[in-house]
Structure 1
Amino acid sequence: MTETAVLAAADALVEAFARHDRDAYFAAFAPDATFVFHNLDRRLDCRAAYEAEWALWETRDGFRVTGCRSTDRKVQLVGDVAIFTHAVETDLSFGGEAVTSNERETIVFSRGPEGRWVAVHEHLSAPT
């Protein structure tokens, strides 16, 4: 059941991202979640920092997510922590130009006292 719950939380996060649903996507992360992306020169130390970066991408670059597929999924459980890894193929638009990216991603989830799995760290890397 626990692995199923983690996969459901991951699916909800990926599905919100895939439809560019900012509110649902960011709601999947704890306020103090951290983010490491291969295309940024720094770590983002909280959800608000990532939200600000996302807004900048939208206004400066015409950023829009148009689709996302998750494959090669694995969940590792360590008490109230779950490590979710997968390959992710994302369809994006930058200024109206379509781009597809292929990356690997790790999302660390923590189970809160109410039993909800919330993302506390995301690490996105380019494939080798």
Structure 2
Amino acid sequence: MTTPNQADVEAAASAIVDAFAATDRDRYFAAFAPDATFVFHTEPARLDDRATYERLWDEWVASGWRVVECTSSDRRVQVLPGAAVFTHTVDTTVETADGRESYRERETIVFAFEGDGLVAVHEHLSPLT
């Protein structure tokens, strides 16, 4: 079993953050496995696969939502055989039909090898006050 290196995990996480910051749906979701799970404090239930999150994303965009800015700080990578855990603080500003909203959250992304590269298999956001 291959153990990912820190640089590859950092690059995979940065690709997710960059795609999210650009509201680039295709590039963002390409970084997640089809069976990835998502736990967001803003949603009433866990999202059990990428398709469910994609539908939610489409609803957000249709309602006027888009990301204005997203930055990552306080990064930490923990590597394991075949996987890695990436944690960071994420500051996000979004535009909605009701105006701009900003959030500071803690995020965990779990990566695993799929084929020749890393893919996100779980994402968890918690509010940071």
Q: TM-score normalized by structure 1?
A: 0.94
Q: Which of the residues 75, 78, 96 maps onto 1:76?
A: 78
Q: Which residue of 2 aligns with 1:50?
A: 53
| Partners of 1:37 and 1:79 in 2: CA distance | 27
Deviations along 1:48-104, one digit per CA (max 9) or x if unpaired, are 0000011111223x1111110000000001111100000000010011611111100
| Partners of 2:26 and 2:98 in 1: CA distance | 22
Q: CA deviation at 1:124?
A: 0.4
Structure 1 unaligned runs (5+)?
A: none
Q: Which residue of 1 aligns with 2:123?
A: 122
| Partners of 1:6 and 1:28 in 2: CA distance | 12
Q: Which residue of 1 aligns with 2:65?
A: 63
| Partners of 2:127 and 2:95 in 1: CA distance | 18
SS of residue in 2 equivalent to 1:26: helix
Q: Does 1:17 align with 2:29?
A: no
| Partners of 1:74 and 1:123 in 2: CA distance | 15
Q: Compute the RMSD of aligned alpha carbons.
A: 1.2
The number of residues matched between the two structures is 126
Structure 2 unaligned runs (5+)?
A: none
Moved >2 Å (runs of 4+): none
Deviations along 1:99-123, one digit per CA (max 9) or x if unpaired, are 1111000000001232x01000000
| Partners of 2:13 and 2:24 in 1: CA distance | 15
